[in-house]
């Protein structure tokens, strides 16, 4: 009985019909670039969480209405925040996110330089 319950819940299949293959390709591309707000590191295509299914259907609907990728991404960002974007924009809220790798690299460089300088001065004595 447990296996039957698990098997029926394991996979949800979308049966959305698009007007043409280009719309389908655009919708899948956009949905793959948006993150599920409930799941860790899964895009809308990979996640079967109810919120992801709802968001995926919203993307499909907006593509069918002729909305552009920018319009859809903006709508999703306004509703769910920058978290839903795998590539968040550079703004005041995300500045630290974008700058942190450079700052960490700089910090590692300074530490390595100081350690080598200290070793060099100890060898000279």
Render pLDDT for 59-118 as a digit per residue (tens, 0 to 9). Answer: 999 999 999 999 999 999 999 988 898 877 777 777 777 788 889 999 999 999 999 998
Candidates 35, 57, 58; CA nearest to 47 is 35
- pTM of the full predicted structure? 0.63
pLDDT higher for 125 or 111? 111
CA 56, distance to chain mean position in Å, is: 14
Residue with the larger pLDDT of the pair 120 and 78: 78
Percentages of the chain per state (helix, strand, coil), in multiples of 5? 65, 5, 30
Distance in angstroms (rounded) separating the CA atoms of residues 25 and 21: 6
Q: Output the pLDDT for position 11.
A: 45
Q: Is 52 helix (H, G, I), strand (E, B) or coil?
A: helix
Q: Which residue has the tokens 């007007």?
A: 19
Q: What is the pLDDT of residue 125?
A: 62
Percent of the chain scoring above 90 in pLDDT: 57
Note the residue count of the chain: 125
Alpha helices by DSSP H, 1-125: 2-10, 21-32, 50-64, 69-80, 95-124
2-89: CATH number: 1.10.8.640
User: In the 8-state DSSP scheme, what is residue 45?
Assistant: T
SS3 (DSSP) at 93: coil
* Residue 5 pLDDT > 50: no
Per-residue model confidence as pLDDT tens digits over 17-44 = 888 999 999 999 999 999 999 987 899 9
């Amino acid at each position: 009985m447990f296996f039957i319950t698990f098997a029926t819940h394991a996979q949800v299949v979308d049966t959305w019909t698009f007007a043409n293959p280009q719309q389908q390709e655009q919708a899948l591309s956009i949905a793959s670039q948006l993150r599920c707000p409930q799941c860790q590191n899964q895009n809308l295509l990979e996640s079967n969480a109810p919120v992801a299914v709802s968001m995926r259907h919203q993307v499909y609907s907006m593509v069918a209405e002729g909305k552009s990728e920018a319009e859809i991404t903006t709508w999703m960002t306004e509703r769910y925040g920058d978290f839903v974007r795998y590539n968040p924009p550079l703004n005041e809220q995300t500045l630290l996110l974008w700058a942190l790798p450079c700052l960490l690299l700089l910090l590692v460089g300074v530490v390595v330089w100081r350690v080598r300088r200290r070793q060099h001065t100890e060898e000279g004595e």
